[in-house]
Amino acid sequence: MTLLDRKGVSVLDGHTNNGKKSGTIYEELSTVKLINNDVIIQQSLCVNQNVVVNNMKWRAKTYESFQKKVHLVAEDYTGGVDENNICIDSPIIIDVLDENGESEADAKVIVSFAAKIPTNIGRKELQ
């Protein structure tokens, strides 16, 4: 008995990518902009509404990932990270509606993160 189908692909579960994918599918848009004396970071994710409502692990990992990104940008723009001066706003969840203004069957939402980093923290300039 062989464990391969006619095309030579394993028929055992988990040995190929033929089955369901376990990762969450989402679209991401990130922006970093320098405005006056502040660096503004904005990240938006378009994801299935059920993931946001039911998957606490995804929510925690996504927020932690945004925090790490903010710290990396703070290092790049200011030379250091000062938690007291960095302002990370609470995520905003926006419903995605169809052209008639109603939710679709597989409802999606946009989860938007934003943070503000003052550029005067930790910076050492030579004159």
Rounded mean pLDDT, 89-114 = 86
What's the confidence (pLDDT) of residue 92? Answer: 93
pLDDT at 11: 60
φ, ψ dihedrals at 27, nearest 5°: -105, 145
Domains of the chain by residue range? 26-118
Q: How far apart are CA 4 and CA 25, in angstroms?
A: 29
Kind plus residue range of the DSSP H or E element containing 46: strand 38-48
Q: Which of 23-27's residues contact partners 24+ apart within 8 Å by CB, and which partners?
A: 24/48, 24/51, 24/55, 24/58, 26/51
Concatenated DSSP letters of 7-43: TS-B-STTSSTTS---SPPEEEEEEEEEETTEEEEEE
- pLDDT (0 to 100) of residue 19: 44
Tens digit of pLDDT for each residue in 1-35?
555 566 666 665 554 444 445 556 668 889 999 99
Cβ pair 41, 69 in contact under 8 A = yes
Share of the chain above pLDDT 70, in %: 74
The residue with greater pLDDT, 93 or 27, is 93
pLDDT-based confidence at residue 112 (cuts at 50, 70, 90): very high
Residue 126 has pLDDT above 80, yes or no: no
What's 122's DSSP letter?
A: S
Percent of the chain with pLDDT over 90: 38
Q: Is the whole model's pTM more than 0.75, yes or no? A: no
